[in-house]
A and B are shown apart, each in its own frame.
Chain A
Amino acid sequence: MNIKKNKQFTYLALLSAMAITLNLLETAMIPPLMGVFRVGLANIIALLALKILGMKEMIIVNLMRVLIGNLISGRFLGSSFWISLAGVCLSTLVLILMEKMQSSLLFTSIASSVAHSIGQVLVVMFFYQQPWMLSFLPYFLLVSIPTGLLTGYVSSIAIRRVKPLRIG
Protein backbone atom coordinates (compact mmCIF):
# COMPACT_ATOMS: atom_id res chain seq x y z
CA MET A 1 0.00 0.00 0.00
CA ASN A 2 2.78 2.36 1.00
CA ILE A 3 4.83 1.45 -2.07
CA LYS A 4 1.82 2.14 -4.28
CA LYS A 5 1.36 5.55 -2.65
CA ASN A 6 5.06 6.37 -3.08
CA LYS A 7 4.93 5.31 -6.71
CA GLN A 8 1.90 7.51 -7.32
CA PHE A 9 3.57 10.45 -5.58
CA THR A 10 6.69 9.98 -7.73
CA TYR A 11 4.57 9.92 -10.89
CA LEU A 12 2.80 13.07 -9.78
CA ALA A 13 6.09 14.88 -9.14
CA LEU A 14 7.52 13.70 -12.47
CA LEU A 15 4.46 14.73 -14.46
CA SER A 16 4.32 18.13 -12.73
CA ALA A 17 8.00 18.71 -13.55
CA MET A 18 7.39 17.68 -17.17
CA ALA A 19 4.37 19.99 -17.49
CA ILE A 20 6.31 22.95 -16.05
CA THR A 21 9.32 22.24 -18.29
CA LEU A 22 7.19 21.89 -21.42
CA ASN A 23 5.36 25.09 -20.56
CA LEU A 24 8.61 27.03 -20.08
CA LEU A 25 10.27 25.49 -23.15
CA GLU A 26 7.30 26.30 -25.35
CA THR A 27 7.29 29.90 -24.13
CA ALA A 28 11.02 30.26 -24.65
CA MET A 29 11.62 28.30 -27.85
CA ILE A 30 8.46 28.13 -29.98
CA PRO A 31 7.34 31.57 -31.14
CA PRO A 32 3.54 31.79 -31.01
CA LEU A 33 1.73 32.12 -34.32
CA MET A 34 0.94 35.84 -34.80
CA GLY A 35 2.22 36.43 -31.28
CA VAL A 36 -0.83 34.94 -29.56
CA PHE A 37 -1.63 31.41 -30.76
CA ARG A 38 0.22 28.64 -28.91
CA VAL A 39 0.14 24.84 -29.26
CA GLY A 40 -0.22 24.17 -25.52
CA LEU A 41 2.26 21.31 -25.23
CA ALA A 42 1.72 21.08 -21.46
CA ASN A 43 -1.78 19.82 -22.25
CA ILE A 44 -0.14 16.51 -23.26
CA ILE A 45 0.95 16.03 -19.66
CA ALA A 46 -2.49 16.99 -18.32
CA LEU A 47 -4.04 14.24 -20.47
CA LEU A 48 -1.33 11.80 -19.42
CA ALA A 49 -1.96 12.59 -15.73
CA LEU A 50 -5.71 12.17 -16.22
CA LYS A 51 -5.36 8.80 -17.92
CA ILE A 52 -2.63 7.20 -15.79
CA LEU A 53 -3.22 8.79 -12.38
CA GLY A 54 -6.74 10.20 -12.19
CA MET A 55 -8.69 13.42 -11.90
CA LYS A 56 -7.34 14.67 -8.58
CA GLU A 57 -3.76 14.25 -9.76
CA MET A 58 -4.51 15.94 -13.11
CA ILE A 59 -5.86 18.98 -11.21
CA ILE A 60 -2.67 19.09 -9.10
CA VAL A 61 -0.43 18.82 -12.21
CA ASN A 62 -2.36 21.60 -13.96
CA LEU A 63 -2.27 23.93 -10.96
CA MET A 64 1.43 23.24 -10.34
CA ARG A 65 2.21 24.03 -13.96
CA VAL A 66 0.56 27.46 -13.72
CA LEU A 67 1.77 28.36 -10.22
CA ILE A 68 5.38 27.12 -10.44
CA GLY A 69 5.74 27.85 -14.16
CA ASN A 70 4.77 31.48 -13.60
CA LEU A 71 6.92 31.73 -10.47
CA ILE A 72 9.96 30.52 -12.43
CA SER A 73 9.30 32.79 -15.40
CA GLY A 74 8.78 35.79 -13.10
CA ARG A 75 5.19 36.43 -14.16
CA PHE A 76 3.51 35.30 -10.93
CA LEU A 77 0.37 37.39 -10.19
CA GLY A 78 0.94 39.41 -13.39
CA SER A 79 -1.67 39.71 -16.13
CA SER A 80 -0.43 36.63 -18.01
CA PHE A 81 -0.63 34.58 -14.77
CA TRP A 82 -4.34 35.31 -14.29
CA ILE A 83 -5.03 34.72 -17.99
CA SER A 84 -3.31 31.33 -17.97
CA LEU A 85 -4.89 30.40 -14.62
CA ALA A 86 -8.36 31.07 -16.06
CA GLY A 87 -7.53 28.99 -19.13
CA VAL A 88 -6.22 26.11 -17.08
CA CYS A 89 -9.17 26.16 -14.65
CA LEU A 90 -11.73 25.99 -17.45
CA SER A 91 -9.77 23.34 -19.38
CA THR A 92 -9.44 21.27 -16.18
CA LEU A 93 -13.21 21.41 -15.65
CA VAL A 94 -13.77 20.30 -19.25
CA LEU A 95 -11.22 17.48 -18.87
CA ILE A 96 -13.17 16.20 -15.82
CA LEU A 97 -16.46 16.48 -17.71
CA MET A 98 -15.07 14.66 -20.76
CA GLU A 99 -13.64 11.91 -18.56
CA LYS A 100 -17.04 11.43 -16.90
CA MET A 101 -18.65 11.30 -20.36
CA GLN A 102 -16.02 8.75 -21.44
CA SER A 103 -15.08 10.76 -24.54
CA SER A 104 -12.22 9.71 -26.80
CA LEU A 105 -8.76 11.05 -26.04
CA LEU A 106 -8.59 13.17 -29.20
CA PHE A 107 -11.95 14.81 -28.53
CA THR A 108 -11.06 15.34 -24.85
CA SER A 109 -7.87 17.07 -25.97
CA ILE A 110 -9.66 19.32 -28.46
CA ALA A 111 -12.39 20.19 -25.91
CA SER A 112 -9.78 21.05 -23.30
CA SER A 113 -7.87 23.18 -25.81
CA VAL A 114 -11.07 25.03 -26.76
CA ALA A 115 -11.96 25.55 -23.08
CA HIS A 116 -8.46 26.90 -22.41
CA SER A 117 -8.92 29.50 -25.14
CA ILE A 118 -12.41 30.45 -23.94
CA GLY A 119 -11.18 30.82 -20.34
CA GLN A 120 -8.38 33.12 -21.44
CA VAL A 121 -10.63 35.26 -23.60
CA LEU A 122 -13.29 35.53 -20.86
CA VAL A 123 -10.82 36.70 -18.21
CA VAL A 124 -9.45 39.39 -20.54
CA MET A 125 -12.96 40.46 -21.54
CA PHE A 126 -14.42 40.74 -18.05
CA PHE A 127 -11.58 41.23 -15.58
CA TYR A 128 -9.43 43.40 -17.83
CA GLN A 129 -12.55 45.00 -19.38
CA GLN A 130 -11.45 44.47 -22.95
CA PRO A 131 -14.65 43.44 -24.77
CA TRP A 132 -12.94 43.66 -28.18
CA MET A 133 -11.04 40.53 -27.13
CA LEU A 134 -14.15 38.67 -28.27
CA SER A 135 -12.94 39.29 -31.83
CA PHE A 136 -10.06 36.90 -31.09
CA LEU A 137 -12.35 34.07 -29.95
CA PRO A 138 -13.31 32.64 -33.38
CA TYR A 139 -9.62 32.51 -34.36
CA PHE A 140 -8.79 30.82 -31.04
CA LEU A 141 -11.59 28.29 -31.57
CA LEU A 142 -10.40 27.45 -35.09
CA VAL A 143 -6.76 27.14 -34.01
CA SER A 144 -7.75 25.01 -30.97
CA ILE A 145 -8.91 22.13 -33.18
CA PRO A 146 -5.57 21.32 -34.90
CA THR A 147 -3.58 22.06 -31.72
CA GLY A 148 -5.94 19.86 -29.67
CA LEU A 149 -5.62 17.09 -32.26
CA LEU A 150 -1.83 17.34 -32.11
CA THR A 151 -1.60 17.24 -28.30
CA GLY A 152 -4.22 14.46 -28.18
CA TYR A 153 -2.29 12.38 -30.71
CA VAL A 154 1.03 12.85 -28.89
CA SER A 155 -0.55 11.99 -25.53
CA SER A 156 -2.14 8.83 -26.99
CA ILE A 157 1.36 7.68 -28.06
CA ALA A 158 2.76 8.63 -24.64
CA ILE A 159 -0.04 6.78 -22.81
CA ARG A 160 0.63 3.61 -24.84
CA ARG A 161 4.31 3.78 -23.85
CA VAL A 162 3.63 4.54 -20.18
CA LYS A 163 0.80 1.99 -19.89
CA PRO A 164 3.05 -0.96 -18.86
CA LEU A 165 4.26 1.16 -15.93
CA ARG A 166 0.73 2.04 -14.86
CA ILE A 167 0.05 2.09 -11.16
CA GLY A 168 -2.30 -0.30 -9.50
Chain B
Amino acid sequence: MKKKEIYALIVLVCIALVMLVVLNKNRLFSSNSSTQEIPTEEAKGDWIAVGHRGHVILYFDSGIDAKHTVEGLVGKMEIEVKNKEWHISYVDCPNHTCEKMGWMNIDSWGVPITCLPNDIIIVPKTMADTMELLP
Protein backbone atom coordinates (compact mmCIF):
# COMPACT_ATOMS: atom_id res chain seq x y z
CA MET B 1 0.00 0.00 0.00
CA LYS B 2 1.22 3.51 -0.85
CA LYS B 3 1.91 6.12 1.85
CA LYS B 4 -0.95 8.31 0.57
CA GLU B 5 -3.33 5.38 0.90
CA ILE B 6 -2.28 4.72 4.49
CA TYR B 7 -2.95 8.40 5.30
CA ALA B 8 -6.36 8.10 3.62
CA LEU B 9 -7.14 5.10 5.83
CA ILE B 10 -6.09 7.00 8.96
CA VAL B 11 -8.38 9.87 7.90
CA LEU B 12 -11.22 7.36 7.38
CA VAL B 13 -10.75 5.89 10.86
CA CYS B 14 -10.71 9.43 12.33
CA ILE B 15 -13.94 10.32 10.47
CA ALA B 16 -15.60 7.15 11.79
CA LEU B 17 -14.50 7.87 15.36
CA VAL B 18 -15.64 11.51 15.16
CA MET B 19 -19.01 10.35 13.77
CA LEU B 20 -19.30 7.86 16.61
CA VAL B 21 -18.71 10.58 19.20
CA VAL B 22 -20.94 13.18 17.47
CA LEU B 23 -23.82 10.76 16.90
CA ASN B 24 -23.64 9.60 20.49
CA LYS B 25 -23.78 13.20 21.69
CA ASN B 26 -26.91 14.05 19.73
CA ARG B 27 -30.38 12.78 20.32
CA LEU B 28 -32.01 9.84 18.61
CA PHE B 29 -35.53 10.47 19.87
CA SER B 30 -36.58 13.98 20.75
CA SER B 31 -37.77 14.34 24.32
CA ASN B 32 -41.35 15.24 23.32
CA SER B 33 -41.71 12.41 20.82
CA SER B 34 -42.21 9.80 23.51
CA THR B 35 -45.65 8.23 23.68
CA GLN B 36 -44.53 6.47 26.86
CA GLU B 37 -43.95 7.99 30.26
CA ILE B 38 -40.23 8.59 30.65
CA PRO B 39 -39.27 6.44 33.65
CA THR B 40 -38.07 8.46 36.61
CA GLU B 41 -37.37 5.66 39.07
CA GLU B 42 -34.04 3.86 39.27
CA ALA B 43 -33.84 0.74 37.06
CA LYS B 44 -32.50 -2.56 38.44
CA GLY B 45 -30.46 -2.85 35.26
CA ASP B 46 -30.77 -0.08 32.66
CA TRP B 47 -33.76 1.52 30.97
CA ILE B 48 -34.05 0.38 27.37
CA ALA B 49 -36.12 2.35 24.84
CA VAL B 50 -38.12 0.81 22.01
CA GLY B 51 -38.61 3.32 19.20
CA HIS B 52 -41.22 3.09 16.46
CA ARG B 53 -41.62 5.77 13.75
CA GLY B 54 -39.67 8.31 15.78
CA HIS B 55 -41.53 7.72 19.04
CA VAL B 56 -40.58 5.73 22.09
CA ILE B 57 -43.39 3.22 22.45
CA LEU B 58 -41.94 1.29 25.38
CA TYR B 59 -39.32 1.53 28.10
CA PHE B 60 -38.25 -1.68 29.80
CA ASP B 61 -35.87 -2.46 32.65
CA SER B 62 -33.06 -4.77 31.52
CA GLY B 63 -32.65 -5.90 35.16
CA ILE B 64 -36.08 -7.53 35.24
CA ASP B 65 -36.46 -10.79 33.31
CA ALA B 66 -39.58 -10.48 31.17
CA LYS B 67 -41.09 -10.73 27.70
CA HIS B 68 -42.44 -7.57 26.07
CA THR B 69 -44.54 -7.45 22.93
CA VAL B 70 -44.75 -4.41 20.67
CA GLU B 71 -46.58 -3.81 17.41
CA GLY B 72 -44.65 -2.68 14.31
CA LEU B 73 -45.65 -1.89 10.73
CA VAL B 74 -45.63 -5.55 9.67
CA GLY B 75 -46.79 -7.17 12.89
CA LYS B 76 -45.82 -8.34 16.36
CA MET B 77 -42.33 -8.22 17.86
CA GLU B 78 -41.47 -10.04 21.07
CA ILE B 79 -38.51 -8.83 23.14
CA GLU B 80 -37.10 -11.25 25.72
CA VAL B 81 -35.11 -9.85 28.66
CA LYS B 82 -32.90 -12.16 30.69
CA ASN B 83 -29.84 -11.62 32.93
CA LYS B 84 -29.56 -7.91 31.96
CA GLU B 85 -29.53 -8.83 28.26
CA TRP B 86 -32.27 -8.55 25.65
CA HIS B 87 -32.99 -10.04 22.24
CA ILE B 88 -35.81 -10.48 19.76
CA SER B 89 -37.38 -13.86 20.40
CA TYR B 90 -40.10 -13.53 17.77
CA VAL B 91 -40.94 -11.12 14.98
CA ASP B 92 -43.57 -11.00 12.24
CA CYS B 93 -41.27 -9.96 9.43
CA PRO B 94 -39.88 -11.62 6.29
CA ASN B 95 -36.20 -10.87 7.02
CA HIS B 96 -35.74 -11.87 10.69
CA THR B 97 -32.53 -9.81 10.73
CA CYS B 98 -33.28 -8.45 14.21
CA GLU B 99 -33.66 -12.01 15.54
CA LYS B 100 -30.24 -12.85 14.11
CA MET B 101 -28.66 -9.87 15.89
CA GLY B 102 -28.76 -12.00 19.04
CA TRP B 103 -28.47 -10.93 22.66
CA MET B 104 -27.49 -7.34 23.39
CA ASN B 105 -26.47 -5.74 26.65
CA ILE B 106 -25.46 -2.28 27.78
CA ASP B 107 -21.89 -2.90 26.61
CA SER B 108 -22.81 -4.01 23.05
CA TRP B 109 -21.00 -1.03 21.46
CA GLY B 110 -24.29 0.87 21.37
CA VAL B 111 -25.38 -1.06 18.27
CA PRO B 112 -29.17 -0.79 18.16
CA ILE B 113 -31.39 -3.80 17.47
CA THR B 114 -33.28 -2.79 14.36
CA CYS B 115 -36.15 -4.12 12.28
CA LEU B 116 -36.55 -2.17 9.04
CA PRO B 117 -39.88 -3.68 7.90
CA ASN B 118 -41.43 -3.00 11.32
CA ASP B 119 -39.63 0.35 11.70
CA ILE B 120 -38.54 -0.55 15.23
CA ILE B 121 -35.28 0.31 16.95
CA ILE B 122 -34.21 -0.81 20.43
CA VAL B 123 -31.48 1.18 22.20
CA PRO B 124 -30.47 1.91 25.78
CA LYS B 125 -32.37 4.95 27.09
CA THR B 126 -29.08 6.76 27.71
CA MET B 127 -28.34 6.47 23.98
CA ALA B 128 -31.91 7.41 23.00
CA ASP B 129 -31.62 10.49 25.23
CA THR B 130 -28.33 11.57 23.77
CA MET B 131 -29.04 11.18 20.06
CA GLU B 132 -31.36 13.32 17.96
CA LEU B 133 -31.75 11.96 14.47
CA LEU B 134 -35.49 11.70 14.34
CA PRO B 135 -37.90 14.66 14.32
Contact = CB atoms under 8 A, between A and B. Distances in A.
Contacts of A107: 1-2, 5, 8-9
Interface stretch (B40-48, B62-70, B75-83, B111-119): B111-119
A115 to B, nearest CB: 11
Given A34-B102, A124-B116, A132-B28, A137 B19 contact: yes
Interface residues on B, range: 35 or more
Category for how many chain A residues contact B: 20 to 34
Interface string A130-143: 11111111110110
B133 A145 contact: no
A31 interface: yes
Contacts, number: 84
B9 A138 contact: no
A138 B19 contact: yes
A31 B12 contact: no
Interface of B: 1-2, 5, 8-9, 12-13, 15-17, 19-20, 23, 28, 51, 94-95, 97-102, 108-112, 114, 116-117, 119, 121, 131, 133-134
30 contacts: A35-B99, A35-B101, A36-B114, A78-B94, A79-B95, A79-B116, A104-B5, A107-B1, A107-B2, A107-B8, A130-B116, A130-B119, A132-B51, A132-B131, A132-B133, A133-B114, A134-B23, A134-B133, A135-B110, A135-B133, A137-B19, A138-B16, A138-B17, A138-B19, A138-B20, A139-B109, A139-B111, A141-B16, A142-B13, A142-B17
